[in-house]
Structure formats: structure tokens, C-alpha cells
């Protein structure tokens, strides 16, 4: 038994890119056998996943099981803070004032630790990796005397915080609850692109189901869930005096990056190797030198290292910043392939 899964869409879609990474993370959680990730060598490469001891139904069934379990588990947990009700696992919510409301941080940490202990006891490493990669509200960060909880967040949490929304409670939980009612067949059709069923956004042109991984528009709910799992392979690095580092974000030191840069391996690599690459100094150096207008990289010798690994190109997504100053909206524009010269 083995599978080769080609994900819906192409490298032009940030949703496809993250769903490729998420599908590999999901497969790894099910199997200790061979799990390999690659992109086709088409003009617009397609994302592929190969697993030696899993079937397509195994992947789709695990999506349903995981969504159902998370819908009644950690994604459903909220805390009533003085500023409102939010998920303690969403790093981006209204700032807590520790002087006026000193009990809020205690409630926050108690809720987080209780669920983290439970997930550890259950062995749900995929949830734990996702929570770590999302980051946490930066209680340690202040700028000009004001708290900056967003500085501890992954840049790939791009939900627009209108009406008190936060990513875990207002999007991930919503998607999990919806998918728990889907059939395994429809989930698989969504992953492969045979079906586009945006049950969250009602297939409207204004849908935000992709939550910034594409411009506004319909996005399959199952594909979006698997894309959110892809965040788990981009672990962030907290810093005391700056915004947390998110692998692939360019520039890496600002609240609103202008581009994302990810590897396109055409030779199969494992999920572990993929993560090692995106968190490496080599990749960080490449990301920092690649501006959003670049079409061809002028090669330092270090690029040979990636070509030797079967990575001849990078996926580049410009990130549009829209909305208002109080509720900014970020989303990936159409991606392009950048050849590593």
C-alpha cells in the first residue's frame, strides 16, 4: 500500500504551498515509514506527497478524525479576559494590561498549561507543534511603554482582527467544527481539487476561508485546514527585544513582512529535512537577500548548496497589506517561481 497525492492548485497559490507542507506533517503523524515531499517540474509546479505505507483514504480519514477531536478539544477552549473572550492559543488578541488586570495573565497561563499537558499525555504532537509554531502573546514585549502581544506571533497567522476575532477561536475552531460533518470522500476531493467546497465562506468572492494564504475568494475548507497544519513546520523563534522570527518571512524583523520565500524541491525530501532547510541560516540568508520584486537570484556560492539538495528554485509570494491601521489585513498575492542561479 502506498500513495502519491497531488494537492489542489499549483505553486501560484500560497494555500497549495501550505497544504503540501501540512499534508506531509499529517502523514508523518500517522507513519514512521517513508514520507516524501516534492514539486513537479512543470511551468507552474504542482505539489506532491508520497507515502510508502498510507492510502489516500488514510489521509482524508485522519483529517476528519483530527478536525472532530480538535473541535471539541483545545481549539474550543476560551478565556474570559478583561478585554474580551479569546483563545489562549491565539497569539494575536487585545493586549492585556498587567497593572489594571493582573489576574488575566494567570488565567491565560493556567488555560494554556492545562491543555498543553493534556495534549502531551494524549501524544498529539501535531497539535503541540502547531501551537508552538503559532507562537504566543508576547507578555515580555513592550514598545514605547505599550504591550505588543503580536510580537510573539507567527507572521502566518493573518486573520483580520475585526469584531474581536482571533485565529484559533474564530477560524481554526470554526473549520474543525465544520469538517467534522464532512464525508471522507468530500475531504479527499477537496484536497485533490476535484471539489471546491467553501462551507465557511459560502463560496463568496469575499470569502476569507484561506485566512491570508490567498487573496479574498472561495477556498476549499478541507484544503484550508490542511494548510493550517502546515504552519507546524515553520517553528518561530522568540526574541526579547524584537518581533519573533518566522521562517520564510521577508523582512524577518517587521510586524508586516512584504514577501514570503519558500523552497521548491524537485527531488523528494522528508518533512524533517524540509523543516531543517526553512529554519537554517542558509535559507534565512537567501530570504533576506530576495526582495519582492526579484525575478532571478544573482548567485552567491551558497545557492549551490540548495541545488545539491534538489532545490533549484524558490516560491516567492508578495504579501499585500490592506485594511485599516486598527485592523490590518495581510494576504499572499499570486506566487511566482524564482530560479536560483
Q: What is the DSSP string of 179-241?
A: HTTS-HHHHHHHHHTS----TTTTT-TT--TTTTSSSSS---HHHHHHHHHHGGGS--B--SS
Find the range with the poorest average confidence among 11-20, 38-47, 196-205, 282-291. Answer: 282-291
Residue 153, CA atoms < 13 Å, CB-side half-sphere: 25
Domain ranges of the chain: 3-72+169-340
State the pLDDT at residue 139.
85
| Model confidence at 299: pLDDT above 60 | no
Backbone angle region of 315, left / alpha / beta, with phi > 0 → left and psi within -120 to 50 → alpha = beta
| Cell digits of residue 39 | 514539486
Q: Angle between the 221-230 and 56-71 helix axes, to the nearest 10 degrees?
A: 80
Answer for the pair 5, 192: CB distance below 8 angstroms, yes or no. Answer: yes
From the number of C-beta atoms within 10 Å of its C-beta (0-12, 13-18, 19+), residue 340 rates as buried
| Model confidence at 138: pLDDT above 50 | yes
**47-51/328-332 β-pairing:** unpaired
State the pLDDT at residue 294.
52
Could you report the per-residue pLDDT of 10-64, keeping only the tens digit for each?
A: 999 999 999 999 999 999 999 989 999 999 999 899 999 999 999 999 999 999 9
From the number of C-beta atoms within 10 Å of its C-beta (0-12, 13-18, 19+), residue 99 rates as exposed
Backbone angle region of 225, left / alpha / beta, with phi > 0 → left and psi within -120 to 50 → alpha = alpha
Q: Cα–Cα distance between 334 and 330 in angstroms, integer?
A: 13
> What predicted TM-score, i.e. pTM, was given to this entire model?
0.95
Mean of pLDDT over the chain = 92
Tell me the percentage of the chain whose pLDDT exceeds 70: 96
Task: Tell which wins on pLDDT, 69 or 298.
Answer: 69
Could you report the per-residue pLDDT of 177-195, keeping only the tens digit for each?
A: 999 999 999 999 999 999 9
| Model confidence at 300: pLDDT above 90 | no
State the pLDDT at residue 331.
97
Amino acid at each position: 500500500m502506498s500513495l502519491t497525492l497531488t494537492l489542489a492548485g499549483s505553486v501560484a497559490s500560497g494555500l497549495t504551498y501550505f497544504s503540501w507542507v501540512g499534508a506531509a506533517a499529517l502523514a508523518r503523524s500517522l507513519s514512521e515509514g517513508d514520507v516524501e515531499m516534492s514539486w513537479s517540474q512543470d511551468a507552474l509546479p504542482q505539489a506532491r506527497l508520497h507515502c510508502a505505507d498510507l492510502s489516500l483514504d488514510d489521509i482524508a480519514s485522519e483529517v476528519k478524525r483530527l478536525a472532530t477531536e480538535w473541535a471539541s478539544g483545545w481549539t474550543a477552549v476560551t478565556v474570559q479576559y478583561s478585554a474580551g473572550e479569546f483563545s489562549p492559543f491565539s497569539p494575536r488578541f487585545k493586549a492585556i494590561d498587567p497593572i489594571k488586570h493582573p489576574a488575566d495573565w494567570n488565567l491565560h497561563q493556567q488555560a494554556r498549561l492545562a491543555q498543553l499537558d493534556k495534549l502531551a499525555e494524549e501524544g498529539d504532537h501535531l497539535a503541540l507543534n502547531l501551537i508552538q509554531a503559532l507562537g504566543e502573546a508576547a507578555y515580555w514585549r513592550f514598545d514605547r511603554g505599550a504591550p505588543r502581544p503580536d510580537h510573539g506571533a507567527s507572521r502566518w497567522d493573518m486573520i483580520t482582527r475585526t469584531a474581536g476575532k482571533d485565529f484559533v477561536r474564530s477560524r481554526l475552531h470554526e473549520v474543525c467544527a465544520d469538517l467534522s460533518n464532512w464525508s471522507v470522500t468530500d475531504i479527499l476531493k477537496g484536497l485533490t481539487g476535484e471539489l471546491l467546497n467553501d462551507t465557511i465562506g459560502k463560496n463568496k468572492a469575499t470569502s476569507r476561508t484561506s485566512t491570508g494564504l490567498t487573496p479574498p475568494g472561495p477556498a476549499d475548507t478541507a484544503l484550508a485546514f490542511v494548510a493550517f497544519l502546515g504552519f507546524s513546520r515553520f517553528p518561530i523563534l522568540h526574541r526579547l527585544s524584537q518581533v519573533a522570527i518566522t521562517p520564510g518571512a521577508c523582512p524577518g524583523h517587521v510586524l508586516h513582512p512584504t514577501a514570503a520565500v519558500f523552497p521548491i524541491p524537485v527531488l523528494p525530501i522528508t518533512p524533517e529535512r524540509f523543516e531543517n532547510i526553512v529554519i537554517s541560516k542558509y535559507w534565512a540568508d537567501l530570504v533576506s537577500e530576495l526582495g519582492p520584486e526579484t525575478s532571478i537570484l544573482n548567485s552567491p556560492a551558497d545557492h549551490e548548496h540548495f541545488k545539491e539538495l534538489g532545490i533549484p528554485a524558490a516560491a516567492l509570494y508578495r504579501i499585500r497589506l490592506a485594511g485599516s491601521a486598527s485592523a490590518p489585513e495581510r494576504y499572499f498575492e499570486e506566487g511566482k517561481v524564482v530560479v536560483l542561479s
